[in-house]
Amino acid sequence: CSASSNKPVLTLFTKKPCPLCDEAKEVLEPYEKRFILQEVDITLPENSVWYDKYKYDIPVFHLNGKFLMKHRVDIQKFKDELMKLELQNE
């Protein structure tokens, strides 16, 4: 079954420590089987573009490469967008 390869990718722009990021991941935990979480540490030199863009806004989430939300998880928006992507992939 190739369903896993069709899972949406949720990118979390983060840095250590980030209590808000940890909190956000907990909120998303019930849905973790429906997406692939990719974490980007904005403090790494290769991620300086993201650091400049998001240093005051983390956590920031992109879903399949598109900006989704920042600061806190908007669970309704997340579920709506996830559902849209899942329907497209069926």
**Within-domain flag for 3:** no
DSSP 47: G
Please tell me the total count of domains within the chain. 1
**Within-domain flag for 62:** yes
**Within-domain flag for 67:** yes
Q: Where are the beta strands (DSSP E) in 20-79?
A: 36-41, 60-63, 66-70
Q: What does the pLDDT look like over 32-41, one tens digit per residue?
A: 999 999 999 9
**By residue range, what is the domain housing residue 70?**
9-88
Mean pLDDT on 33-59? 97
**Within-domain flag for 17:** yes
More confident residue, 45 or 5: 45
The dihedral over CA atoms of 84, 86, 88, 90, expressed in degrees to the nearest 10, equals -150
